Amino acid sequence: MKITVVGAHGKISRLLHPKLIDEGHDVRGIIRKKEQVETLEKMGVTPVVADIEQQTDISEAVGNVDAVVFAAGAGPGSGKERKYTVDRDGAIKLMRACQANEITRYIMISAMGLDEPRGNEVFQVYQKAKAEADEALLNSGLNYTIIKPGKLTDEDGTGKVSVGNLERGEIPREDVSSVIAASLDNASTYYKSFDLLAGSQSIQDALSSLK
Ligand SMILES: NC(=O)c1ccc[n+]([C@@H]2O[C@H](COP(=O)([O-])OP(=O)(O)OC[C@H]3O[C@@H](n4cnc5c(N)ncnc54)[C@H](OP(=O)(O)O)[C@@H]3O)[C@@H](O)[C@H]2O)c1
């Protein structure tokens, strides 16, 4: 498959690229900083420099691919404004680009617990922005998979997860990247939205169990 990853220099994305490339996919990565070009090239990813906040139309950057992954985020150091401009509006611009370029498959890295916003004001805005992006994707007509991980860690992946409607917990970014790679052309994940935590099932079994 040809796949465009948005937020391609992020931590999850850099764990995802080698998996996609090993599986024979063609990966195009959207980044906003020219200094990140070399890292992506070394990984075998085709870099495309585009700022999803500054550009109103990102369809040219997204290109003619079979699937997209939204892995961008304003990040923990950002203020309220960028939660909307990156986490919500960036994701929605990617939906519009899919519609313009006739791409049907969209994988979203969302987050758990968005129905009950918690934490400080900025974190609550983040949760609202993510929830609005998910809602837009559910109504977009695209073939979505909305992956809602718990707190992300940099521990080694275990390949064992839990999916469904879950209580709070953690998951290594490496396992999130494995779930993205395993979901791309897996029909059990089409039109599904699910929480994702470290657990005891293999990723294939967990994804097959989705209802
Ligand atoms: N942290 C958690 O516990 C948690 C839990 C559940 C879900 N999530 C979600 O998971 C997502 C991915 O996690 P991660 O750890 O891989 O995040 P990350 O390392 O912060 O990666 C996010 C990427 O988005 C890029 N980005 C930001 N603004 C952009 C723009 N305007 N145009 C293009 N790219 C832009 C950043 O690039 P720059 O280098 O240019 O800033 C960065 O590379 C998070 O963003 C979050 O929404 C997080």
Each residue's pLDDT tens digit, 108-126:
999 999 999 899 999 999 9
Question: How far is the C-alpha of 43 from the C-alpha of 7, rounded, in Å?
Answer: 15
- Find the Cα–Cα–Cα–Cα dihedral 54, 60, 63, 67, rounded to 10°: 40
Ligand 1 in reach of 111 Cβ (< 6 A)? yes
pLDDT, one tens digit per residue, over 136-161 is 999 999 999 999 999 999 999 999 99
Interval between CA 194 and ligand 1 midpoint (Å): 19
pLDDT, one tens digit per residue, over 11-58 is 999 999 999 999 999 999 999 999 999 999 999 999 999 999 999 999
Interval between CA 71 and ligand 1 midpoint (Å): 6
Task: Tell me the whole-structure pTM to 2 decimals.
Answer: 0.98
Residue 29 belongs to domain with CATH number? 3.40.50.720
For residue 184, the enclosing domain spans: 2-208
pLDDT reported for residue 185: 97
pLDDT reported for residue 174: 98
pLDDT, one tens digit per residue, over 170-209 is 999 999 999 999 999 999 999 999 999 999 999 999 999 9
Mean pLDDT of the chain: 97
pLDDT reported for residue 166: 95
Strands 201-202 and 160-164: antiparallel
pLDDT average, residue stretch 80-92: 98
pLDDT reported for residue 161: 98
144 catalytically annotated? no
User: How many domains does the chain fold into?
Assistant: 1
Task: Give the residue, out of 109, 130, 151, 194, with the most ligand 1 atoms within 8 A of its beta carbon, to mutate for a pocket test.
Answer: 109
C-beta pairs of 199-202 under 8 Å, 24+ apart in sequence: 199/160, 199/161, 199/162, 199/163, 200/160, 200/162, 201/160, 201/161, 201/162, 201/163, 202/159, 202/160
